[in-house]
Amino acid sequence: MYLAKITRLIIQNIRRNLGHFSMSAIGIIIGIASLSFFVALRNGVKVWIHSEDILPLNKIEVVPKKTSIDGPIEKFKPINDDAVERMRMRPEVMAAYPKMKFRFPGLARGGRSLFGQDIQIEFIGDGIDPKLVADEKFKKPLSFKDYWASENPKRGCKLDKECPAGKSCNRFSNSCAECESDPDCGAGKRCEPRVKMCIPALRCWPRDPYLKKQDGSYAKNAATGKRIKKENRFHGDCWAVGKRFRCDTRTRQCTNQCTGDNQCGRYYYCDAKATNTCYHAVPALVSKYIIEMYNGNIAPGRNWPQINNFVASQFFGLVFTAAIGDSVMGAKRQDVRVRRIQLVGISRKAINLGVTVPIGYVKRWNRAFALRDEKGILPSEEFKFSTYSSVVIWVRSKSDVSRFTHFAKKLGFEQQDSAAEMVGNFIDFVGLLLGIVSLVILIISALNIAHTYYMIIADRRREIGVMRAVGANRWDIRILFIGEASVLGLIGGTIGLALGRTLAYFVDFISSQYVATFMFKPKTYFHFTWWVWVGAIGFGVLFCFLGTIFPANRAAKMQPAHALIIQ
Amino acid sequence: MSKPVITIQKVSKHYGRGTGRQQVLHDVSVEVKPGELVSIVGTSGSGKSTLLNVVGGLDRHYEGEVTVLGNKYTGLSDNALSRLRNNRIGFVFQAFNLLDHLTCWENVALPSFFGKHPGDTRRMAQEHLERVGLEDKINIKPGNLSGGQKQRVAIARALFNKPDLLLCDEPTGNLDTRTGQQIIDLFSSLNRNMGITVIIVTHEQRVSKVANRCITLEDGKVVSNGAPDKMKVVDTACEPVSGRRTDH
């Protein structure tokens, strides 16, 4: 009740002193507009850099130490599974993902459908744990995973001695043989002779290739009136075994043996030169950096069209060939393997120049191309597939970075670069500087409000006297004036915030229309979080409140008899 | 015998310091009984308004003892004094002191903004305005009223809290003779019909004529204090019929 009545008085006083208040509020509006603008700019730049994975603050890439200038050259300490596990166990570590670079030559060929002719470039890249991109969405049905590992659960091998005792290494599947003949596989399964693997002994036949409705009639295309074909019409139940299996029309048995790509499932290819087996194309990611580099540096100079997200998405599913072991720069290896690589998406986590594939493929390829003698892989070559080129560490917060870096140094590793921390600190510093400028504006506004209120109180001294005479106590008078100022701050803060937001929209518009495209150019430079909204209005109220404390106190302490004297 | 509404004992007050010191009240001692209508008269600067401010608790810088409605002002907190004014004392000023940005009913209901006054304040304000004959001016702002109407609104405001004590500082000073008389009659009827103790500081002889008692101040001292039937009103003073000034 009291609050409602006081509010009524406050609103009427504001109406009466609208002129005075408008002038005082201008300072608050400008101060809050600049404060919200600068804080949102700082937030926006940080969000842009960190969320876009340009320089995330809580991400560190740990690499083996290369040189030491403060002492004798230290022994090279490789990052192996044990080191990764020790890092992963640290309390400040959220996740640790090893990376492994290609340690073999390679040649990529493809792009006829895009460029009119095949382009041949050196095949370079690295492998990452698919979990690292688990939060990224890919165009369905594409997926970034190690298909070979899921379809060939057995460990890869090259020589018989790499397999358990009594098992031979199958040269087609590069896996340890499961069986030699059908009896080894047990009931319901048979031994696929070429790959020496047990597969379900299914009799298969090409099914009716057309799709049927529930009532038994054929489903038809509404536009053409033609019957709709099933996707897996040739392979029948064999796809239940695996998508790389097909129905051999001659033997009526499921097999993954092939002579051409058309015998394998969608996204599968036939390794016709070596194993005559269907394999899923190796999923690969490219970096957004390549697209940004094209858009920022290559396309503008040649008047080529920009690649936006939609255009880029048209490339997803594109398949090219990689000749692993081949090279345009060096000698060709004897045992060149041809693999199909399928572009499944664009990711900031991919290597900047090259392709990124699931780390399992890289481990197997590096292993396959490690040098061997009759005893097996040379010990000096083991690092190629057993050690990692780096580990991506996500710590829980920015403050954990230095603690973890210290630990990594103790393990004998180093941080790849500390640019993220430096840039983060620089943004904080600039943000703080701009914030201080805004606060100075607000302080000046508060002083202006204080001055205005001293004048208002001098004008209204008789009114104060009357209110005291009818029973207002000192706190009532204080609340009245502070309340007026707080409403002024609320309105000024809201208008200031709206002005700051409008200014931000304007800057974004100017940037989108008139600023040339550059790498990682963001759609917006600003991030107005809930606390920017609340804080800006809160600061408006706070500074008006601070500006009125002394005048309101003076008004409250005024002797009613003196206040009522006619001037 | 009923307890006095106001007891003033040896109250002195001065303004300024050193050579500029000006004594406005000298050892003033007065008592006012419930239901009295007392006029305080005297020349300009004699300390009438100062005495009224002291009684109303609007001025607390004085020496001596003041007890109003059983509340001894010495040691009384500002909150308690504000509550006393809010609940039991009404003020009427010469300059009306209405808040121009509020409507008549809001001006009348002003005490309710600062204290507990249960009920519909607008309706209560309306009733008080009806009592002073301004029922049609509820939503009018004071700027559109005549002097007499403004003073009636001020009286309605003073009556809003159903006061035991009404302190009026030259209530007819800014009014013409006819309107001034109406206001005096209003005070007189309030005193008679509602039993409100009324103290009127005035220059006007006709006010003193309706009062139960007339107190004359001169240079901050009480020079006469008596019932009107024993006094005669001369200029701005009440003098005893015998020609000898008496202390009460």
Residue A137 covered by a domain: no
CB contact under 8 A, B99 and A5: no
Chain A residues with CB under 8 Å of B78 CB are 473-474
Cβ of residue A476 closer than 8 Å to a chain B Cβ: yes
Q: What share of chain A is helix, strand, coil (3-state, %, to 5)?
A: 45, 20, 35
Cα–Cα distance, A501 to A34 (Å, whole number): 10
Cβ of residue A111 closer than 8 Å to a chain B Cβ: no
Contact A344, A144 (CB under 8 A): yes
pLDDT at A357 over 90: yes
Cα–Cα distance, B130 to B123 (Å, whole number): 10
Query: For the residues A81-110, what does the mean pLDDT come to?
Result: 88
Q: What share of chain B is helix, strand, coil (3-state, %, to 5)?
A: 35, 30, 35
Cβ of residue B202 closer than 8 Å to a chain A Cβ: no
CB contact under 8 A, B102 and A15: no
Residue A354 covered by a domain: no
Helices in A412-473 by DSSP H: which ranges?
419-459, 461-469
Query: For the residues B229-237, what does the mean pLDDT come to?
Result: 64
- pLDDT band of residue B81 (cuts 50, 70, 90) is very high
* Pick from A434-438, A463-467, B69-73, B211-215: least confident: A434-438
Nearest to B42 by CA among B228, B211, B246, B217: B217
Q: How far is CA A120 from CA A205, A327, A346, B168, in A?
A: 41, 10, 21, 106
CB contact under 8 A, A560 and B95: no
How is the beta sheet containing B63-68 ordered, strand by strand? B22-32, B6-15, B63-68, B71-72
Torsion sign, CA atoms B130, B135, B140, B145: negative
Residue A542 covered by a domain: yes
Assigned token pair, A144:
């970034």
Q: What angle do CA B115, B117, B121 make, to 5 degrees?
A: 115
β-strand pairing of A390-395 with A387-388: unpaired
Contact A158, A381 (CB under 8 A): no
For residue A324, the surrounding DSSP H or E stretch is: strand A319-324
pLDDT at A284 over 90: yes
Q: What would the pLDDT profile of A118-153 be if each residue is shown by its tens digit? A: 878 888 899 998 888 888 888 877 888 888 877 765
Query: For the residues A2-16, what does the mean pLDDT come to?
Result: 83
Residue A150 covered by a domain: no
How is the beta sheet containing A319-324 ordered, strand by strand? A119-122, A106-110, A319-324, A337-347, A282-287, A355-358, A125-128, A93-101, A390-395, A59-64, A413-415
What pLDDT does A4 receive? 82
Chain A residues with CB under 8 Å of B61 CB are 559
What pLDDT does A162 receive? 75
What pLDDT does B244 receive? 46
Quote the crossing angle between the two packed helices A419-459 and A18-51, to the nearest 10°. 170
Q: What angle do CA A526, A532, A538 make, to 5 degrees?
A: 150
Residue A469 has its nearest CB partner, among B61, B79, B85, at: B85
- pLDDT band of residue B67 (cuts 50, 70, 90) is very high
Cα–Cα distance, A234 to A248 (Å, whole number): 9
| Close Cβ partners of B171 (under 8 Å, ≥ 6 residues apart) | B92, B93, B94, B151, B154, B155, B183, B187, B200, B202
Cα–Cα distance, A8 to A2 (Å, whole number): 10
Residue A467 has its nearest CB partner, among B61, B78, B114, at: B114
E-strand stretches of A72-196:
79-80, 93-101, 106-110, 119-122, 125-128, 169-170, 175-176, 189-192
What pLDDT does B245 receive? 46
Cβ of residue A451 closer than 8 Å to a chain B Cβ: no
Cα–Cα distance, B107 to A333 (Å, whole number): 102
Cα–Cα distance, A510 to A284 (Å, whole number): 37
Q: What would the pLDDT profile of B205-215 be if each residue is shown by its tens digit? A: 777 778 888 88
pLDDT at B171 over 90: no
Residue A12 has its nearest CB partner, among B85, B101, B112, at: B101
| Close Cβ partners of A293 (under 8 Å, ≥ 6 residues apart) | A519
ipTM rounded to 2 decimals: 0.89
Burial class (CB in 10 A: 0-12, 13-18, 19+), B183: buried
What pLDDT does A331 receive? 66
What pLDDT does B165 receive? 92
Q: How far is CA B194 from CA A26, A60, B210, in A?
A: 53, 87, 16
Cα–Cα distance, B218 to A523 (Å, whole number): 84
For residue A197, the surrounding DSSP H or E stretch is: strand A197-200
Burial letters A251-290, b for 16+ CB under 10 A, else e: eebbbbbbeebebbbebbbbbeeebbbbbbbbbbbbbbbb
Q: What angle do CA B141, B58, A458 make, to 5 degrees?
A: 60
* B:125-164 residues touching chain A, CB 8 A cutoff: 157, 161
Total CB pairs under 8 A between chain A and B: 78
pLDDT at B1 over 60: no
Looking at CA atoms only, how far is residue A37 from chain B in angstroms? 38
pLDDT at A446 over 90: no
Query: For the residues A274-292, what does the mean pLDDT come to?
Result: 84
Residue A185 covered by a domain: no
- pLDDT band of residue A356 (cuts 50, 70, 90) is very high
Write the secondary structure of A295-319 as one string of H (helix), E (strand) and C (coil): HHHHHHHHCCCCCCHHHHHHCCCCE
| Close Cβ partners of B92 (under 8 Å, ≥ 6 residues apart) | B151, B154, B155, B158, B166, B167, B168, B169, B171
β-strand pairing of B165-169 with B89-92: parallel
Chain A residues with CB under 8 Å of B79 CB are 473
What pLDDT does B247 receive? 45
* Pick from A307-316, A401-410, B138-147, B210-219: least confident: A307-316
Contact A500, A34 (CB under 8 A): yes
Assigned token pair, A20:
């005075």
What pLDDT does A283 receive? 93
Cα–Cα distance, A266 to A198 (Å, whole number): 23
Cβ of residue B102 closer than 8 Å to a chain A Cβ: yes
Q: Tell me the CATH architecture of domain B6-94+167-240.
A: 3-Layer(aba) Sandwich (3.40)
Q: What would the pLDDT profile of A189-230 be if each residue is shown by its tens digit? A: 888 777 777 877 776 765 566 777 888 888 888 888 888 876
What pLDDT does B223 receive? 85
Query: For the residues A312-328, what does the mean pLDDT come to?
Result: 83
| Close Cβ partners of A466 (under 8 Å, ≥ 6 residues apart) | A564, B97, B98, B99, B110
Query: For the residues A97-117, what does the mean pLDDT come to?
Result: 82
What pLDDT does B89 receive? 92
Chain B residues with CB under 8 Å of A13 CB are 101
DSSP code string of A36-99:
HHHHHHHHHHHHHHHHTTSS-TTEEEEEE----SSSSPPPP--EEHHHHHHHHTSTTEEEEEEE
Helix (H, G, I), strand (E, B) or coil at A321: strand
What pLDDT does A80 receive? 86
Cα–Cα distance, A365 to A158 (Å, whole number): 11
Helix (H, G, I), strand (E, B) or coil at B163: coil
- pLDDT band of residue B246 (cuts 50, 70, 90) is very low
Residue A561 has its nearest CB partner, among B58, B86, B157, at: B58
Q: Domain total for chain A? A: 1
Helix (H, G, I), strand (E, B) or coil at A536: helix
pLDDT at A385 over 90: no
More confident residue, A157 or A537: A537
* Pick from A15-29, A472-486, B30-44: least confident: A15-29
Cα–Cα distance, A536 to A494 (Å, whole number): 8
Residue A141 covered by a domain: no
CB contact under 8 A, A469 and B97: yes
> Considering chain A, what is the average pLDDT of its residues?
81
**Torsion angle, CA of A315/A318/A323/A327, rounded to 10 degrees?**
-20
Helix (H, G, I), strand (E, B) or coil at A208: coil
pLDDT at A505 over 90: yes
Percent of chain A with pLDDT over 70: 87
Q: Position of tokens 């200031």? A: A496
What pLDDT does B141 receive? 92
Residue A6 covered by a domain: yes
Nearest to A41 by CA among A537, A506, A442: A506
Contact B175, B183 (CB under 8 A): yes
Residue A455: count of CB within 10 angstroms of its CB: 11
Helix (H, G, I), strand (E, B) or coil at A416: coil
Residue A320: count of CB within 10 angstroms of its CB: 24
Chain B residues with CB under 8 Å of A463 CB are 99
- pLDDT band of residue A392 (cuts 50, 70, 90) is confident
pLDDT at A497 over 90: yes
Cβ of residue B74 closer than 8 Å to a chain A Cβ: no
For residue B121, the surrounding DSSP H or E stretch is: helix B121-131
Q: What would the pLDDT profile of A61-95 be if each residue is shown by its tens digit? A: 888 876 555 555 555 678 888 888 889 888 888 88
> Considering chain B, what is the average pLDDT of its residues?
85
β-strand pairing of B197-201 with B71-72: unpaired
**Torsion angle, CA of A319/A325/A331/A335, rounded to 10 degrees?**
-120
The domains of chain B are located at 6-94+167-240
Nearest to A283 by CA among A144, A376, A411: A144
Which structural domain, as residue segments, surrounds residue A522? 2-54+421-563
What pLDDT does A234 receive? 55
What pLDDT does B248 receive? 44
Contact B9, B64 (CB under 8 A): yes
DSSP code string of A244-262:
T-EEETTTTEEE-B-SSGG
